[in-house]
Structure 1
């Protein structure tokens, strides 16, 4: 990994392909394929943005791309085709003037199509027609994402917002930590796995036991199919 690329990415989180797969609980092969086929190929060619750097095992990406991977997977889970997702990404990138439209709070879905909110509040279907869509939104994306005042993803909660494990590019290079601390979830898990009790770790780090249990949960839940 070249040092200049590394320095440019420090403030935006640094995630290898296996780390993206772990945080999102997705197969490594699927994440690597998506990165190559979509972000490094199709998306990059359309907006001239570089989504990853490094080669092979050293290939890494940033926080916004991680969020886009999460949203991409949610769209696929709704049986929206990869072709429609690609077209939506392209159209939204142009309309919202960003290389990371899927990291925007303006993205919505009704379970059938991909929608986004224009500056005037109009809900538009993300395709080339850009016709207003007058239908009730039954599901809003990104229940695990906290957005900034500028509507861009700021934090990711891999276990949901009811658990205090966060992925924040401004803490520990974006690795999962206990919310409002710099304590790595991995550190807690490794100590627990080595034989320390939840009660002892709670006293040692001045954390609630439920936060210790959440850190353990993060490292024991299985990846998605």
Structure 2
């Protein structure tokens, strides 16, 4: 998760412990992660929630407001993963979400309608299903072919629509094989091979 999102491992572990497993999961006993240390694992929706949490913090929203909003949105969206929906927006102060009638609603206890310009969703790297829940993540961006898809390879990064792990491509390249050779044996385009290699260079 830390490598995919480009976050320090210590921060990821701390956030899982302090926010997801304490604040977010306490009421309904939802468990967002399992294991400890290097064996710590989590699920795809928590990965997307981390991305959303980070984007909100990066835009100046306080952790206290985020925790408060998460609890409210759990009830509104009837899911333990409200930050993995396509409706989350922010104005740099409050956490906002799109209401059923298209209004922007403040995610606080009063759920007051806020008169404000609709903001561009910050989840450009995420594909959502018909229920507005995240179903694919593009860690580089949509122009590149590295994909996190929970339905393929247990959510590990893969190349495009294939089941080929980006790590496999990178390990071959690191072991001395040429990009051209890797592309030929796996029937990948030069861009796909380059994306897989660059992804792991960035994540390293």
Both proteins in one fold, TM over 0.5: yes
2:33 is aligned with 1:52: yes
The equivalent of 2:81 in structure 1 is 100
1:72-221 alignment, distance < 5 Å: 72-221=53-202
2:36 is aligned with 1:62: no
- Name the SS for the 1:155 alignment partner: strand
How many residue pairs get matched?
204
The equivalent of 1:3 in structure 2 is none
Over aligned residue pairs, what C-alpha RMSD do you find? 1.4
The equivalent of 1:10 in structure 2 is none
TM-score, L = length of structure 1: 0.86
In 2, distance between residues paired with 1:98 and 1:213? 37
- Name the SS for the 1:207 alignment partner: coil
In 1, distance between residues paired with 2:118 and 2:128? 19
- Name the SS for the 1:46 alignment partner: coil
Q: Check whether the contact 1:110–1:137 (CA below 8 A) recurs between aligned residues.
A: no
TM-score, L = length of structure 2: 0.95
Q: Which of structure 1's runs of 4+ aligned residues deviate more than 6 A? A: none
Larger deviation: 46-55 or 193-202?
46-55
In 1, distance between residues paired with 2:86 and 2:28? 20
1:222, CA displacement in angstroms?
5.2
Structure 1 unmatched runs, 5+: 1-19
1:52, CA displacement in angstroms?
1.5
Q: Identify which of 31, 34, 53 aligns with 2:12.
A: 31
